[in-house]
Structure 1
Amino acid sequence: MAEKVSQDQINSILWQAADTFRGKIDSSIYKDYILTMMFIKYLSDSYKEHLEEYTERYNGDEQRIQRALTRERFVLDNESTFDYLYSKRNDAEIGEIINKVLERIENENTGKLRGVFRNIDFNSEAVLGKAKERNAMLRTLLEDINKLNLKPSVIGSEDVIGNAYQYMIEQFASDAGKKGGEFYTPTMASELLARLVKPQENDRIYDPTCGSGSLLVRVAKQVPNNKVAIYGQERNGATHSLALMNMYLHGIDDANIEWGDTLANPLHLEDGKLMKFQKIVANPPFSLDKWAMGFANETSKKDKDEKFKMEAGLDPYRRFEWGVPPTSKGDYAFVQHMLYSLAENGTMATILPHGVLFRGASEGKIRKEIIEMNLLDAVIGLPEGLFYGTSIPACILVFKKNRGREDVLFIDASGEGNYEKGKNQNKLREEDLQKIITTYDSRKTIDKYSYKATKKEIQENDYNLNIPRYVDTFEEEAPIDMEAVKQNISDIKKELAVVEAEMEKYLKELGL
């Protein structure tokens, strides 16, 4: 029986593999190569172990072995395994060989893996450099990943693989700062969103800007046996591939993750209309500039030189009838897309910058509509420094369809003591999450932490949702004791007189 490997051992080998690329190409790019190769190693090791089991069980009867292998989650043959790639590691055409193997794996598993690897090119001179450097990098990568044993009997639980993938994605996000952080929502922020929407068995769960899929995985994990239907869309091709691999490594084989611009080209449709979901979670890009460019085409411009202006009528799904968000800030474009995709009695929670709470013009108009339609359930202020690549403090907005109440709960979880301070990154702890969830569920007003505002109060505030308007976190200064201050001054004067007398004595001794 092979010795079990620990989570830390796997994580450490993977992080060492990253050294192959450091200083040569940006970590927001090389993560794709390491995570893809880890995925191939996992598929290969599972295949190899099952092949051994079936060979023993069926006494080498080739036909029965092959029949049993076709019933596995993934089908491989000997020339589409990691071992085959490893045997070719010194080949001058190793990049092309890897690409062909990836294509072969896709073709053998068209139902599950169609298009998964199409955005990751192991033979790209533009990204990986000229043949000599590229081959050296790929050889080292294959040697590093070869140190991993990812056989199911050795890793014990499938969670170990999913966790390793998650660990790597998180490391890359902090390593790459702004560039890498955009595809990852920190673990505890994802956990908070997942607990706020409270997914139930058989719910359809959707993330319109799903990145590497970590947030969707967290929500699925709230439900025993992941018995939910997962839907996501991602605009970046390589990140879309990572999301699919992430799903498989967490045992979610039937996730529907689409590749494309969610705003201009939403791909989850039913009967030509936006599909509806019971639970929606998202961490969209903050204040996305030029969010509507996908709607621009020749017919929407009367004149070539005329600047494109987004209008509600350009959207066939009529998502912007409450107002068209400003060109330079896409926050409410995502919010409206999600609200239009929310099923009756559905719940959605999304992370947004604080500006959405108080900015005016068209955003103010949209905010007023949302509140008047009684869709906003809670506003939760988060600590600063939680997200990779930005120190901007964010908030979570929770929306519900068919709410049985008209108040809005405000929670200010940004204060000292509501999070753990880190050198580069602040963190939410389990107790911080529980405090937010308990307050959200009870809808209690807690001094300096939460406040339940009536619709009338929000209307009186001109639909401004800035949290300090509702939750007063001002700490009173302790009153000054004037007698103590007088006594203090008197004591200082006495001390000063003693020091001056001493100085006088020394100066006399020195004859000055």
Structure 2
Amino acid sequence: MTCDRIKKDIDETLSQLLEGSDNKDLKINLLKRNILEDQKVRKLKQEDWIEILDEILFNIYKFINDDTSEGQDILNLFFIAFNKYTGKADKNQAFTPDHITDFMCRITGVDHTKKIFDGTCGSGSFLVQAMVQELADCNRQKILEEEKQILRQRVAKEHIFGIEIEENAFGLSTTNMLIHGDGNSNIKHGNLFESENFLIKANPDIILMNPPYNAKPIGIPKKYKLRWKTDAKEDPTKGLVFLKFISDVLEKLNKKRVEQNLPRKEVKTAFLLPVAAAIGSSSLIKEIKKALLEVNTLEAVFTLPDEIFYPGASASACCMLFTLGRPHVLPDGVIPKTFFGYYKEDGHKKKKNLGRVEQFDAENKSVWKCIEKEWLNLFRNKTVKDGMTAMKEVKGEDEWLCEAYMKTDYSTLSEDDFQKTLNNFLAYLLKEGKIYETD
């Protein structure tokens, strides 16, 4: 088989997989340009193709069972490794780590009955993880295999919706969904703020997003920029404007539902945002937070590990969990307590050129899996644990981080912790020029 024949077969297969897909022509053109027409791919010789295909067939594919969530996880690890060698239009663009997408799917209650939406889907990590968990849930149902297959097809074709404005990232998300067997996914190339009808049509039960923290003002509607400085080059809301837009769309929809004597629609929403959005030191951010709580409930906020996006963006992030469509203040004026988690340790360590790598114990068990289990148990049971969690009534003007409310667990402090704090303080004094090495 010649090189040209191999590439032609790949081309034909891609076209068949994408049959009936939204934006089919754009997706195919992106895949051709980024894969088949890539200079390195065009230089491959016949023996190179044989080696590559043999490696995939005999050392990768045969170990993948795509009827299980484990098989899907292997595919996602393959894609993540591949994605490290691709360029990004925005050097600060941060693809969400796989274990964090898994955690966010679990706290929002992803199962085979839920429709999932991501308005800034990037490489598609949230959508793939949600689909993996929904497919696994299909397999757990006590029904005939034929019925399970119908459920799986419904998940792939009717439950996954995404939007991505950046062309290369859109190409990555399309490829990601193809790798995971979802060639007809509803992934749209466009701007979230111009896709209100698409969002309404998707009618999601769960929204998972990691919006850009430094979005350019040009793509954001004027009504959301009335309080912005005229010369603002980046989004001063630190990504909250994306959440506010979705909230506004849902509130508009709910007003119509109330007029039709229908119950208000509620949507579980998990957003990854910088901690600056949760602190809310600026009046603009405080106003948005207040407005959000008028029609939505802040269920929880989780402070995540430092450098969670390493080696990408350096932003410190938190995860905000909302129930959109249900006001934060109850009709009788009572404010339910919000759960706060100081989830700074995830069992991953920084490794040069590899990012943050999952660690395993002496019995070769995942440290992260044990940590995630504790994170979920503390949240689901609303357990207050000194040094790690807190429950607090909060308003829009308050800080939305666990650090502001949790009690310190002094039993875990050691002499090393004291020395480390002293060292950090001395380093700060030296940096600020308040003391000198000769003092």
* Normalised TM-score (structure 1): 0.59
Q: Radius of gyration: which is bigger?
A: 1
Question: Equivalences for 1:80-91 in 2 at 5 Å?
Answer: 87-89=1-3
Other-structure match for 2:114: 203
Pairwise CA distance, 1:196? 0.7
> Paired residue for 2:19, among 106, 110, 124?
110
1:399 maps onto 2:318 in alignment: no
SS at match of 2:339: strand
CA distance in 2, matches of 1:262, 1:380: 25
- The 1:354/1:108 distance shift into structure 2, 3 A limit, reads closer
Q: Is the 8 A contact 1:263 1:333 kept in 2?
A: no
2:427 is matched with which residue?
Answer: none
Indicate the SS of the match to 1:378: strand
1:146 to 53, 71, 83: 53
**After the TM superposition, which residues 426-441 of structure 1 pair with which residues of structure 2 at under 5 Å, given as runs?**
427=358, 429-441=368-380
- In structure 1, the residue corresponding to 2:321 is in which secondary structure? strand
Displacement of 1:149 after TM fit?
A: 5.5
Distance 1:453 1:104, change over 3 A: closer
| Residue 218 of structure 2: aligned partner | 293
Contact 1:386 1:426 in 2 (8 A): no
Q: Which amino acid aligns with 1:465?
A: W
In the TM superposition, what is the alpha-carbon distance from 1:397 to its structure 2 partner? Answer: 0.2
**CA offset digits 1:58-104 (Å, max 9, x no partner):** xxxxxxxxxxxxxxxxxxxxxxxxxxxxx332x6xx9xx94796268
**Within the alignment, does 1:368 sit opposite 2:368 as a pair?**
no
Q: Which residue does the alignment assign to 1:421?
A: 349
- Partner in structure 2 of residue 333 of structure 1: 241
CA distance in 2, matches of 1:234, 1:121: 19
CA distance in 1, matches of 2:104, 2:296: 20
Q: Does 1:214 align with 2:142?
A: no
| 8 Å CA contact 2:303, 2:401 repeated in 1 | no
**Cα drift, residue 118 of structure 1:** 1.4
> Helix, strand or coil: the match of 2:117?
strand
Q: Shift in Å at residue 412 of structure 1? A: 0.7
Match among 204, 208, 225 for residue 281 of structure 1: 208
Distance in structure 2 (CA, Å) of the matches to 1:352 and 1:139 = 47
Code of the aligned partner of 2:304:
L
Paired letter, 1:145: I
Unpaired segments ≥5 residues, structure 1: 1-86, 296-309, 313-319, 480-512
TM-fit CA distance, 1:473 = 3.8
**5 Å matches for 1:77-476?**
87-89=1-3, 98=7, 102=11, 105-106=14-15, 110-112=19-21, 114-115=24-25, 116-122=27-33, 128=38, 135-137=42-44, 142-148=49-55, 150=57, 154-155=62-63, 157-158=65-66, 162-174=72-84, 182=93, 184-223=95-134, 224-225=137-138, 226=152, 228=155, 229-265=159-195, 268-270=198-200, 275-285=202-212, 287-290=213-216, 292-294=217-219, 311-312=222-223, 320=224, 328-329=234-235, 330-340=238-248, 344-359=265-280, 360-388=282-310, 389-401=312-324, 402=326, 406-414=336-344, 419-423=347-351, 424-425=355-356, 427=358, 429-455=368-394, 458=395, 462-473=397-408, 475=410
Question: CA separation in 2, counterparts of 1:434 and 1:426?
Answer: 19
Q: Distance in 2 between matches of 1:322 and 1:469?
A: 31
Secondary structure at the counterpart of residue 375 of structure 1: strand
Of all paired residues, the percent bearing the same amino acid is 20
Measure, in 1, the Cα distance between the counterparts of 2:73 and 2:403: 38
Q: What is the CA–CA distance in structure 1 between the aligned matches of 2:243 and 2:274, rounded to whole Å? A: 12
3-state DSSP class of the match of 2:305?
Answer: coil
Q: Give the counterpart letter for 1:293 in structure 2.
A: I
Contact 1:376 1:399 in 2 (8 A): yes
Matches of 1:139 and 1:353, distance apart in 2 = 48
Deviation at 1:384, TM superposition (A): 0.9
Q: Could you tell me how far 1:451 is from its partner in structure 2?
A: 1.0
Q: CA RMSD in A?
A: 3.9
Residues 475 and 157 of structure 1, relative CA distance in 2, 3 Å threshold: same
Q: CA deviation at 1:399?
A: 0.4
- Aligned equivalents of 1:363, 1:279: Cα separation in 2: 24
**CA distance, structure 1, for counterparts of residue 45 and residue 123 of structure 2:** 23
Gaps of 5+ in 2: 139-151, 251-263, 359-366, 416-439
Contact 1:380–1:411 (8 Å) recurs in 2:
yes
CA shift, 1:356, in A, is 0.4
CA distance in 2, matches of 1:173, 1:365: 38
Q: Could you say if the C-alpha distance between residues 242 and 478 of structure 1 is closer, same or farther in structure 2, counting changes exceeding 3 Å? A: closer
SS at match of 2:30: coil
Q: Which amino acid aligns with 2:30?
A: N
Secondary structure of 1:390's counterpart equals coil
One-letter amino acid of the structure 1 residue matched with residue 297 of structure 2: L
Question: For 1:117, what is the secondary structure of its paired residue?
Answer: helix
Q: C-alpha distance in 1, partners of 2:349/2:400?
A: 27
- Equivalent residue of 1:386, what SS? coil
Q: CA deviation at 1:210?
A: 1.4
Label 1:119 to 1:448 Cα distance change in 2 as closer, same or farther (>3 A): same
2:167–2:189 Cα contact (<8 Å) kept: yes
Judge conservation of contact 1:260–1:267 (CA < 8 Å) in 2.
no
Distance in 2 separating the partners of 1:433 and 1:143:
41
